[in-house]
């Protein structure tokens, strides 16, 4: 089937997946979404995006299905356990845009292939604004010929980069996230150190975001610090703490592979003990 005729489905239409689904639709691909809560699909239906009531129906009527849910368990549930594969057509592509353990990607691919589906692990980097601007970095593991079939779909929201077999995209994404979170923790502490030295907080933030210390993390803290605090301090169960989940994934991966994390080993231990995604340091001892 030609790339420009692919029927696209999407699961996980939140902060990241929602813009991706909208961009696919706007690129001209027939697009269908599914959500656990039917009310979550209303903004998509208002734009002319089709909705379905079940994952079985989604799987039966799509040639490419993007999955952008919270974690390993959610990925396995929507792909393997809730009917997506029941009536799926041979050759249907499932792209896992979630950040999960590489072993989970491989396990899903191994179980989906006998049912006719071809799985790519394809985590993305660039936030929701990157999806709206079609500038997401898409780190793809899997058969390059499968990727070639769906490059046009992915071009609607970013640029795919083929890295190797299934699981390799997750390796790249976890390294990316570890570096990004380390930068965020260090940027936060640089601001706090300046304040402890007696510098006005707004002044030190302005200097650090415009001088040689400038970075994505510094800009993020300067523009979204209060939002990040609220995110970090939510009560357990209110929503998944995505960044801490990724810290746990990369920590487990380093342990299981025996890889030498270099300086990141120290940073990992520090972030795990100091609320790594919070904009405020943990001073409770």
- The span from the CA of 9 to the CA of 78, in Å, is 13
What is the span of the domain harbouring residue 14? 3-165
Of the ranges 147-161, 190-204, 238-252, the best mean pLDDT one: 147-161
Structure token digits, residue 213: 């210390």
- Which CATH number do you get for residue 9? 3.40.50.720
C-beta of residue 124 within 8 angstroms of C-beta of residue 138: yes
In a domain, 280, yes or no: no
Q: 53 by DSSP, 3-state: which?
A: coil
In a domain, 285, yes or no: no
What pLDDT shows up at residue 226? 55
Global confidence as pTM: 0.88
C-beta of residue 30 within 8 angstroms of C-beta of residue 4: no
Query: Would you tell me how many other CB atoms lie within 10 Å of the CB of residue 197?
Result: 8
Give percent above pLDDT 70 in the chain: 88
Structural domain count, the chain: 2
Q: Say if residue 88 is in the same domain as residue 115.
A: yes
Q: Say if residue 96 is in the same domain as residue 191.
A: no
Model confidence at 242, pLDDT cuts 50, 70, 90, reads: confident
Structure token digits, residue 100: 């999960």
What pLDDT shows up at residue 79? 98
- Out of 140, 165, 190, a domain closes at 165
In a domain, 282, yes or no: no
- Which CATH number do you get for residue 226? 1.10.1040.10
Quick check: 281 pLDDT over 50? no
Mean pLDDT within 139-154: 98
Mean pLDDT within 236-261: 79
- Out of 114, 138, 165, a domain closes at 165
Mean pLDDT within 66-80: 96
Q: Say if residue 84 is in the same domain as residue 131.
A: yes
Mean pLDDT within 126-149: 96
Residues in the chain: 285
Q: Say if residue 62 is in the same domain as residue 97.
A: yes
Q: Say if residue 61 is in the same domain as residue 144.
A: yes
- The span from the CA of 14 to the CA of 266, in Å, is 33
Q: Say if residue 101 is in the same domain as residue 21.
A: yes
Looking only at the bridges linking them, the beta strands covering 93-96 and 118-121 are parallel
In a domain, 23, yes or no: yes
In a domain, 141, yes or no: yes
| 35-56 pLDDT tens trace | 999 999 999 999 999 999 999 9
Q: Say if residue 22 is in the same domain as residue 123.
A: yes
How far does Cα 125 stand from its chain's mean position?
7
Q: Say if residue 94 is in the same domain as residue 191.
A: no
Q: Say if residue 150 is in the same domain as residue 213.
A: no
Quick check: 249 pLDDT over 50? yes
Structure token digits, residue 243: 């960044």
What pLDDT shows up at residue 57? 97
- Out of 138, 165, 192, a domain closes at 165
Q: Say if residue 37 is in the same domain as residue 158.
A: yes
């Amino acid at each position: 089937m030609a790339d420009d005729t692919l029927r696209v489905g999407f699961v996980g239409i939140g902060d990241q997946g929602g813009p991706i689904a909208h961009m696919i639709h706007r690129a001209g691909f027939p697009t269908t979404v599914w959500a656990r809560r039917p009310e979550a699909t209303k903004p998509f239906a208002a734009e002319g995006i089709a909705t379905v009531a079940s994952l079985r129906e989604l799987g039966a009527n799509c040639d490419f299905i993007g999955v952008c849910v919270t974690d390993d368990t959610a990925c396995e549930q929507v792909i393997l356990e809730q009917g997506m594969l029941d009536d799926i057509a041979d050759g249907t592509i499932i792209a896992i845009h979630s950040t999960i353990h590489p072993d989970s990607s491989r396990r899903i691919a191994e179980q989906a292939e006998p049912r006719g589906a071809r799985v790519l692990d394809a985590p993305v980097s660039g936030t929701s604004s990157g999806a709206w601007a079609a500038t997401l970095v898409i780190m793809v593991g899997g058969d390059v010929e499968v990727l070639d079939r769906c490059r046009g779909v992915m071009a609607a929201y970013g640029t795919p980069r083929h890295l190797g077999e299934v699981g390799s995209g997750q390796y790249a994404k976890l390294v990316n996230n570890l570096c990004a979170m380390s930068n965020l923790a260090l940027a936060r502490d640089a601001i706090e150190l300046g304040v402890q030295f007696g510098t006005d907080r707004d002044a030190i933030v302005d200097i650090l975001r415009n001088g040689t210390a400038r970075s994505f993390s510094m800009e993020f803290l300067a523009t979204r610090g209060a939002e990040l605090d609220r995110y970090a301090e939510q009560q357990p169960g209110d929503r998944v703490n995505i960044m801490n989940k990724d810290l746990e994934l990369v920590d487990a991966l380093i342990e299981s592979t025996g890889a030498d994390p270099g300086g990141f080993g120290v940073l990992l231990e520090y972030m795990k003990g100091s609320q790594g995604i919070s904009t405020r340091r943990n001073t409770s001892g």
